[in-house]
Chains A and B, each alone.
Chain A
Amino acid sequence: MSVIQAAALVVVALAGTAVVLVPEPRRQAIVAGLFGLSLAVLFLLFQAPDVALAQIAVAGVGLPAMLLLALARLDEGDEE
């Protein structure tokens, strides 16, 4: 287990904790995107480029876009 892998694991653990502890949903969407990208770096360090590609695409684009769109729709309902 190399030093970089251990460091990446610690970063992932911290990012996961940060995602859970952020209070506001909009900010949490951004932190969730960062958590996903840190996971993708970890997957690359574990010699899994296929999985890292999927994770980058999904957590960088897919999940934050869905979250922010859903949040926008929810707030639209509040304005009425």
Chain B
Amino acid sequence: MSVLPFVVAAWLFVVGVYGVVTSRHLVQLVVCLTVAQASTYLLLLGIGYRHGATAPIFKDVPASTPVVDPVVQALTLTDVVVETTVAALLLALTLQVKRRFGTVDPDELTAMRD
């Protein structure tokens, strides 16, 4: 039971990549990529969790309360916002692809290179 967070993280990654591999629409590809990215957040926070500890905010608890690891939270926090911007960039690329090739189906795009 104690490996459940890591199992779910691995599952999200594999499911996300499966979605990328079998996508029919470039926007679907971007969303499945988002799911795969979520697995990294889960992994980081799973590593940082401490049993019986509380959030790393000392506003209303004494400064000696055990807290979860704040470093991994710092890493995940900036990650969440920045990767959404990268997804926006991918969406802009999708719009360009639609304009140039007339389709957003990944299979048809591969065929056009021939």
Residues of A participating in the B interface, judged by any CB pair closer than 8 Å: 1, 6, 9-10, 12-13, 16-17, 19-20, 23, 25, 28-29, 32, 35-36, 39, 42-43, 46-51, 54-55, 58, 62-63, 66-67, 70-71, 73-74, 77
Contact = CB atoms under 8 A, between A and B. Distances in A.
A20 B35 contact: yes
Interface of A is mostly: helix
B28 A46 contact: no
A35 B73 CA distance: 20
10 contacts: A1-B1, A6-B1, A6-B4, A16-B11, A20-B15, A25-B28, A32-B31, A46-B45, A54-B80, A63-B34
A20 B32 contact: yes
Contacts of A10: 8
Given A42-B42, A47-B54, A71 B27 contact: yes
Contacts of A23: 24
Contact of A51 (B77, B87, B91, B99): B77
Nearest to B99: A77
Interface residues of B, number: 50
A22 to B, nearest CB: 8
B87 A49 contact: no
Interface of B: 1-2, 4-5, 8, 11-12, 15-16, 18-19, 24-25, 27-28, 30-32, 34-35, 38, 41-42, 45-46, 48-49, 51, 53-57, 67-68, 73, 76-77, 80-81, 84, 87-88, 91-92, 94-95, 98-99, 104
